[in-house]
Structure 1
Amino acid sequence: MAVVTFDHPGPNHFAMPYYGYGPGTAAAIGGHLLAPGFPRYSGYGEVTEPDWRPPPVRVVRPGDRAARPIRRAVWSFWSIPYRRQHGRHWPSDFFHALSWILSFRLASRLFPTTALVTDDWGHELLVDRLRLPFDDISLSLNGLAGQNPSWWALGKLHAYREQREPFLHIDNDVFLWRGFPAEGLDGEIVAQNPEHAPASDAGYYRPSAVAAAIRSIGGFLPKEFGDYIGDAALCTGVIGGTAIPLLRHYADLAIRMVESAENQTAWRRLAPLEDYNLVVEQYLLGAVCWGGGTTDVQCVFGSQHDTFREDIAVAQKFTHLIASAKSDLRYMHWLTERVRNHFPADFEIARRLFGDQ
């Protein structure tokens, strides 16, 4: 393994300053599971037509038991976007570390096998320093060293593509509490929920702008993307499934959209690139699933609306700290308490590493 040099030497060399958002902008799915009594917010900037109906999906329910459920939980961490704060909202590295501890420890109770796809810096942090005992570790994201870190979803896409057996990829801001119906997960494609993605570019996906820019230079636009006339994406707070060839095909298309030399002029026209991670990762996934043929799509929630119904999220035992919820210090207080009370040895490691921020 290569020697890793960290950005901030000294006793608190992992620490970074607080880049907070106003608490009114925070949104969390299942926030009460992490922070009892915390005010609930009803969205995070999405544009949804009042009469919009998502495509039908198979919703996993508490008590569901699949004949052959997914047994492998996967996390990924391409460290460069995090270190440069591209698309990352954690107030400090201390809270970021606590999120990894809680996400990993909770899910490892539900899935027999755990895996991490990362780079040398990520390995140093998560395995050597925090001592999280992943069963399988890949350092393949070292190969992304030359890629633009504005593409913070790129590491996730590479992690999806290298899987060879049914899996569930879990973002480190997602917490699967005891009682989450992991035993019921067996969909060809598994995701968090269907999400409205209007082709009109009225929302935050802007698929028409992407397609027009790439077509204007004769770049690579996946047929599935170009032909898709639907208006639904799939939120990938969790993503995976049993259809490994389909998942690898989707990830390969997304990676080629981002990395191919023929598309770089189009992406420069569309900058800032941070705004286009979701269209490549989540809209393309919707196009692959619903653009033609029939795919068994299984979700934790049946609609975007359901994710913000606290009763449903609590029943599903699912929390996702979306975007700026990660920088709300009230959530961070409860994150600290959860890890301190339930995983005290891990908490002490993080506290010694970062200081009690």
Structure 2
Amino acid sequence: MKIIQSFWTKPTYHNSDDANARFNGGWPNQKYAFYSFALSALTINRFYDKNELFTDNRGKELFNGLLELPYSNIHTNLEKINHHHPKLWAFGKLVTCADQNEPFIHLDNDIFIWDKIPYDDDQYDIITQNVETNFPGYGKTFRYMLSNFETIPDELIKSYYKNGNILAHNAGFIGGKKLEFFKELHEKAKLLIEGNQHHFNNIDVGIFNTIFEQQLGYAIAEKNNLQVQYLFEDVQPNFVEIIDFSTIPLISKFIHCIGFAKKSVFACEQIEARLQYHFPEYYKHLKNKLHKLFPNEGFDNEIEVPRLQKIFDFYDFVENITAEELLNTKFSLNKDCVIDFDADPMTIEFTIPYSGKKDKKYLEGWHSILLYFLEPVSVQELHDELHKDQDFIKQFGEGFIDFKTKMLSFVLEKTLLLEILEPEDIKVSQLA
């Protein structure tokens, strides 16, 4: 199974006030866009010999000439769509997938992997990231389409009224052996776009992209009774399950910095740190090269050494421990954190690592669990103790079934991203 990626440059270089536009690939600036492209391709290449890029002439110059990424092949098939509207950022992927003549999996340029994609091509026609049910954003634009568009694929309308919901495939990960599906999706999307371009000023075109790529994709797969494998089940609208940098590689094997996640300072920090940690020689070469070419884009501003040292120590820690050992590792509150027991509700004050600024959180819900870490305690010990607390179990409801995994994710997040918690016996390195 080959991996493919695509990159149509026209939307990327089109500056827009649209919250769903793709200027700089959705990242705050070029620095993190370039680091994301690099980390994505390089992590994929650790598991796949064949990773092809489908782009245009400008994209080939970017990925091959500037970023020097080792794709097995770079195609410029997307040069043929440069007459299309720059806000149609998903169209390049549809064209790319429709052009394939052998089974494939397409991964977005903001996806990073720590394992092979477990696609079962014997059982499933296609694979996609997850199903979205009534996710925020679709409704307003789709209702406008139903009322005003001259042409809408029958599949979209039938699926909507059959299910009573807006159902869509998140296509961050998408591919499979059923090549006819991708060709049909491209053709139907093209007709939908070309027949209704005069409505673009009245809709959120960014959301329109998710409709003709993901909602229409679901409807066509449903119509053709395709067997669809989902890489993730029961994904929440905030996509917390797929942007969990803190549990790599024990729990999280696949990260997708979807939309809003790119705006997170923590996500940007982790992209840069992971690139520097896993691919140090490449990072150093790329940083120096880009600093000379783009002196005002912040490539000379790296993560401060004390913070980077703690991040690398954390990476070393989770890379060299088993899941069972991690469950039995004791964690405790950072001694610099201050709990106000007199406040109602109680609060915890801590320093945000990347900025040095003070912040406070109420010790409610999940954050109330931090009180258990006044003394060293492991996730396993905490799970066993809380399992006896009927009031606690009622508070978390059915979610308590996978509480241990969620607790582990919570603890590691508070360790890596905010440094509120500290594991015992973590080895401290010295960065040069």
1:333 paired residue number: 269
Q: Which residue of 1 aligns with 2:78?
A: 141
Aligned counterpart, 2:205: 273
CA 124–141 in structure 1, closer or farther in 2 if over 3 Å, else same: same
- Work out the CA distance in 2 between the residues paired with 1:205 and 1:136: 40
1:308 positional shift: 3.0
Residue 338 of structure 1: CA displacement?
1.0
Are the counterparts in 2 of residues 205 and 278 from structure 1 also a CA contact under 8 Å?
no
SS at match of 2:5: strand
1:264 equivalenced with 2:200 (yes/no): no
> What 5-or-longer segments of structure 2 have no aligned partner?
16-20, 292-298, 302-432
Match of 2:12 in 1: 82
Answering whether residue 224 of structure 2 is matched by residue 288 of structure 1, we say no
Instruction: Say which SS state the counterpart of residue 73 (structure 1) adopts.
Output: strand
**1:89-100 alignment, distance < 5 Å:** 89-100=26-37
Q: Is 1:243 the equivalent of 2:175? A: no
Q: Match of 1:234, SS?
A: strand
Given candidates 118, 137, 142, the residue that maps to 1:207 is: 142
Q: Is 1:317–2:247 an aligned residue pair?
A: no
| Preserved contact between residue 119 and residue 127 of structure 2 (Cα < 8 Å) | no
- Is the partner of 2:69 in helix, strand or coil? coil
8 Å CA contact retained: 1:73, 1:108: no
Instruction: Give runs of aligned pairs for residues 166-181 of structure 1, distance below 5 A.
Output: 166-177=103-114, 179-181=115-117
Where 1:97 maps in the other structure, the secondary structure is helix
- Alignment check: 8 A CA contact 2:105 2:174 kept: yes
The CA deviation string for residues 75-120 of structure 1, in whole angstroms up to 9 with x for no partner, is: 1111111112433421221211111111111112223311111111
Inter-partner Cα distance in structure 1 for 2:105 and 2:117: 13
Q: In 2, Cα distance between the equivalents of 1:319 and 1:93? A: 20
Q: What does the per-residue CA deviation read over 1:24-43, in whole Å, with 9 as the maximum and x for residues that have no partner?
A: xxxxxxxxxxxxxxxxxxxx
Cα displacement string for residues 291-313 of structure 1 (whole angstroms, at most 9, x for unaligned residues)? x3421100111222395346899
Amino acid at match of 2:234: S
CA distance in 1, matches of 2:230, 2:52: 21
SS at match of 2:35: helix
Number of residue pairs matched by the alignment: 276
Residues 332 and 293 (structure 1), Cα distance of their counterparts in 2 relative to 1, 3 Å cut: closer
Match of 2:230 in 1: 299
Higher Rg: 2
Residue 16 of structure 1: aligned partner: none
Partners of 2:288 and 2:210 in 1: how far apart? 36
User: Residue type of the partner of 1:263?
Assistant: N
Q: 2:134 aligns with which of 194, 197, 200?
A: 197
Amino acid in structure 2 at the alignment position of 1:253? K
Q: Give structure 1 stretches of 5+ with no counterpart.
A: 1-70
Report the Cα distance in structure 2 between the residues aligned to 1:205 and 1:350, rounded to whole angstroms. Answer: 42
Contact 1:111/1:182 (<8 A) preserved: no
Whether the 8 Å contact between 1:193 and 1:300 is mirrored in structure 2 is: yes
1:225-266 per-residue CA deviation (whole Å, 9 max, x = no partner) reads 2322333111011111110111221122112322x2x32223
Please say if residues 191 and 234 of structure 1, whose CA atoms lie closer than 8 Å, have aligned partners that are also in contact.
yes
Structure 1 length-normalised TM: 0.71
Which has more helix, going by share of residues?
2
Shift of 1:182: 3.5
- Aligned-residue CA RMSD (Å): 2.5
Distance 2:145 2:119 in 1: 38
